[in-house]
Amino acid sequence: MIDNEVSTPRNVIVTGGALGIGGGISRRFAADGDNVLLVDINNDAATETASAIISAGGTCTPLIADVTTPEGVAAVAAHVDAAWGGRVDVLVNNVGDFRPAKAVFVKSTPEMWEQLYRVNLWHVLAMTHEFAPRMIAHGTGNIVNVSTVEAFRGIPGNAAYSAYKAGVSAFTKSMAIELSPNGIRVNAIAPDLTDTPQTSREAMLNGRDAELIPSWIPLGRFGEPSDHADVVAFLASNDSRFVTGVTIPVDGGTLAASGWHGKARSRGWTNMPDGA
C-alpha cells in the first residue's frame, strides 16, 4: 500500500468511476482505505462496481450524475457538502471519450466538437472550479486528471479530441502553479492502448495476430485499468509529495516509440502497423 498523506481515510471523488480506468481507480483508492465517491452516468455499472468494492471491505458511494453538465457538477457538490461536510482530499477527473465525432475532421460538425469539449475538457475545468476552493479551505489536496498520449502526438481522425486532451495537460500545469501556495498538487496521467469496455482488447486487435502486440507496445502487452490506477494512487500519495504539474504517460512505452502509419492496403491511418 502506498503511504497516504494522512493516516485517516481520505475523501476521494472519481468521475467516470464505474468502468475501465475509472473503475480501476475507484477500486484502488477503496483498497487503500479511502472513502470513494464513484460518480458515473451508468447506474447499473456504478451500482455493480460500488457493491463489489463494499463486498471487498471498502467504502464506496455511487452517485449517478453527468459531470459534463452544470447540474451534474452541482449534484456532486451537494452530496459532498451533505456527506463529507464539504471536504475533498482527492479529485480524479477521469471522464473522457474520443467517440462523439466523425473520424475525419472536415466531416465533423460544431455540435460534435461541443460534445467532445464537454466530456474531455469542460468537466475537468468545472469540477476543479467547484472543488479546488474546498481544498484551499483545508490547505491540502490532490487533483489528478486523465489526459492521453494523443495530447502529445498527432492523431489523424481525432483532431478535436487530441486538442481538448492537450488542453487537459496544459490546464494541469497551470493549475499546479496556481494552487501550489495552497498546498494542493495537480498532476495527470496519459493512457494509451488499454483493455477496457470502451477500447476492448478484441476491438483493438480487430482480427490482427496477437503476436504483433510487442511491435506496437514496447512493454509487450495492452494496458490494464490497474496499471493506471496504481500511478494515480502514487500521484495522490505522499510518495509524490514533490511532484506537481506533470503528465505521466502510462502507455507501455508507446509515446516514446510513437508513430502513425498510412495503411498500405486501405485508406486511413494506424498506430498498429501490420500493412493493412
Report whether 17 contacts 49 (CB < 8 A): yes
- Active-site residue (options: 113, 161, 164, 222): 161
Report whether 255 contacts 223 (CB < 8 A): no
| Sheet strands (E) in the chain | 11-15, 35-40, 59-64, 90-93, 141-146, 184-191, 247-250, 261-262, 269-270
Report whether 249 contacts 255 (CB < 8 A): yes
Query: In terms of Cα–Cα distance, which of 158, 41, 168 is closest to 101?
Result: 158
Question: How far apart are the two ends of the chain, measured CA to CA in Å?
Answer: 44
> What 3 state SS string does 243-262 have?
CCCCEEEECCCCCCCCCCEE
User: In which residue are the cell numbers 471519450 written?
Assistant: 97
Give residue 276's pLDDT: 52
CA separation, residue 69 to residues 74, 118, 153, 218 (Å): 9, 8, 29, 38
- pLDDT < 70: residue spans in the chain: 1-7, 259-261, 264-265, 273-276
* pLDDT digit string, tens, across residues 144-200: 999 999 999 988 889 999 999 999 999 999 999 999 999 999 999 999 888 787 777
| Active-site residue, 161 included | yes
Give residue 41's pLDDT: 97
Q: Write the class of the CATH domain 11-200+221-261.
A: alpha beta
Give residue 6's pLDDT: 43
Compute the C-alpha angle 6/8/11, nearest 5°: 90
Give residue 274's pLDDT: 64
Query: Residue 173 is which amino acid?
Result: K
Alpha-carbon span 160 to 120, nearest angstrom: 10
* pLDDT digit string, tens, across residues 198-215: 777 777 777 787 887 887
Give residue 257's pLDDT: 85
| Sheet strands (E) in 77-228 | 90-93, 141-146, 184-191
